[in-house]
Amino acid sequence: MDITDKQLLRYKRHIMLPEIDFKGQQAITEAKVLVLGVGGLGSPAAMYLAAAGVGHLTLADPDKVELANLQRQIAYNESMLEQQKTEACQQTLRAINREVDIKPVAQKLQGELLQQTVAGLDIVLDCSDNLATRFEVNRVCFEYNKPLISGAAIRWEGQISVFIPQSQDSPCYQCFHQPGTELDQNCSSNGVVGPLTGVIGSMQAIEAIKLITGAGDIVPGRTLLFDALTMQWDSMEVPRRTNCEICGHRS
């Protein structure tokens, strides 16, 4: 489907970029992306992807909007309290861009449902808040050869990594974080400064757009670490573990 005159005007600032142009914007409008968790990270990520014109967004989250969410989860407002997050987020995204096809999944994605969902999409954004989900979505993404953009934020620190199963050099999330080697920490028990989640979620959206359009460089397994207290970025390369039970079998 060709870009319409309305879309040409709407996405002009993208089309002006030589790294995106008409072809890239067309790819964006045809892309299918899963946002797993529409909280602090998933809210800005989903909003920017909808604004960019991503053709289909699947939003997965079992929770309802709570008052404590409003400090950072910018897809919601006070009138949405006690609504399912996926339905409330869908309302926000439709107000941004009604052309985007949105599928809300108001339950925890796991097991066969997670496999079926990932299999039908192009890219997965892991915006979840627990290690069990992160390990499972990592396994499923490598099983179905789907790029995984993983983000995390807690207290004043954030991180983002991209894992690409199609690349023989790409590690997986489990190469970086092995089960049982660290505590499962979350914002509810440790706190988080609100705008930090916007920084990391927005970067997840940027990496998704780069993957869709082929713009820029995607370094599989490179983890960016952000310290908001000092405003310092660090970069760390995560090598693929040859004995990793998820990705180590690749030759």
Residues that are catalytic:
187
Q: How many CB atoms lie within 10 A of CB 72?
A: 22
Name beta bridge partners: 192. 155
Which run of H or E residues covers position 120?
Answer: none
Any residues with CB less than 8 A from the CB of 9 and at least 6 apart, and which? Answer: none
**Contact criterion met (CB below 8 Å) for 181 and 146:** no
Q: How many CB atoms lie within 10 A of CB 59?
A: 27
Q: What is the dihedral of CA 120, 203, 6, 98, to 10 degrees?
A: 60
C-alpha dist (Å) from residue 124 to 42, 65, 168, 226: 11, 23, 19, 22
Residue that has been written with the tokens 């400090």 in this structure: 71
Q: Which SS3 state, helix, strand or coil, does residue 69 take?
A: helix
Instruction: Give dist(CA 49, CA 241) in Å, integer.
Output: 32
Pairing of strands 123-126, 157-163: unpaired
Instruction: Give dist(CA 59, CA 38) in Å, integer.
Output: 7
